[in-house]
Amino acid sequence: MCSAIAMDAVAAGEGAPLTALYLARLAQEAGIPPGVLNVVTGCGAEAGAALPAHPGIRKMTFTGSPPTGTAVMEACARNLTPLQLELGGKSPQIVLLDADLTKAVPAIVRSIVMNSGQVCAAGSRVLVHSSLHDRLVSEVADAFRVVRVGLWDQSVDMGPLINARQEKRVLDYLAIGREEGAEVVVGGGKLTGEPYDGGYFVAPTLFDRVTPGMRITQEEIFGPVLSVLTYEDEEEAVAIANGTRYGLTATLWTQDVGRAVRLARRVQAGQVAVNTLGDGGPAGAIGAPFGGYKHSGFGRSMGPDYLEDWTQVKTVVINAA
């Protein structure tokens, strides 16, 4: 999704335009004058590409993949248009020795099944101390087995993927994980039969015996796929956590606040949550600044940093004598 200052234009994602259109309707009903908020729909290569290429745009934000973000940045550069990017993540959840698993496990599961894993801040990598590995994998697997998957029902925990292209992408990564030697503990394929026929439903999948160099560890899958890696000490945990090109969010599970603060400084992520989910959880709900390090982008949404980013400093010097 792109947004820009023209009056204010939003290019809705081609796979999910209805939310932006509904927001525009609410804005109209609330009395916002016509032309203040404009929603552009259509394919990204045409409708979306028109915004960063337009010389009248004074500021732009983009949320999407690194390749598309790079193209948007190149287009903005031609007009020297200021830009903010949020380009996804491969967010680690570090489970330390003193973690309360009764709190950690439900949150770990929620972080990857929420919106079917199609969340930039999804906690798709679990880094667990080797002595807790077996217990954590067992408890997460049990929780995965009872995830309610469906559609048009408020009681379900997870719905379908957005389209056939995304379903194929996720299924391809499941095959890649197996080929790389990871072990499928739960899930691992497409859900079939009633009520799944005709939809893009992939079972919540738990990979174990995953190593840092595997593609399922390094690349954003954008689906309900969780990988478990082990570590022996804090140094190794930090190295694994920082060992991808992304740096959007991270979660620490520990009862030692001092340790949490120490590790939070070292983890390369724009938002670090301790014993809770970050964006989308309490931190997201209060409007804390959100944005990434490295290939997860630059700039922040929410909070005072976001407001300041959409202003421009002007210096006026007057000699009144």
Q: Which one of the listed residues 76, 120, 167, 220 is annotated catalytic?
A: 120
Residue 177 contacts residue 214 (beta carbons within 8 Å): yes
Cα–Cα nearest to 186, from 198, 177, 199:
177
Look-up of token digits 């694994």: 240
The amino acid occupying position 52 is P
Cα–Cα nearest to 190, from 207, 179, 180, 175:
175
Is position 2 annotated as part of the catalytic site? no
Task: Give the span between the Cα atoms of 39 and 36, in whole angstroms.
Answer: 10
Tokens of 72: 């948007």
Tokens of 88: 């996804």
Task: Give the span between the Cα atoms of 37 and 8, in whole angstroms.
Answer: 5
Q: Which one of the listed residues 2, 43, 76, 86 is annotated catalytic?
A: 86
For strand 9-11 and strand 38-40, is the pairing parallel, antiparallel, or unpaired?
parallel
Task: Give the span between the Cα atoms of 300 and 307, in whole angstroms.
Answer: 9
Cis (ω within 30 of 0) for the bond into 304?
A: no
Is position 120 annotated as part of the catalytic site? yes
Residue 104 contacts residue 307 (beta carbons within 8 Å): no
Task: Give the span between the Cα atoms of 273 and 225, in whole angstroms.
Answer: 21
Separate counts of helices (H) and strands (E) for the chain: 11, 13
Give residues with Cβ within 8 angstroms of 78, minimum separation 6.
53
Residue 302 — left, alpha, or beta (φ > 0 → left; ψ -120 to 50 → alpha)?
left
Main-chain dihedrals φ then ψ at residue 83, nearest 5 degrees: -140, 145
| Residues counted in the chain | 321
Catalytic residue IDs? 86, 120
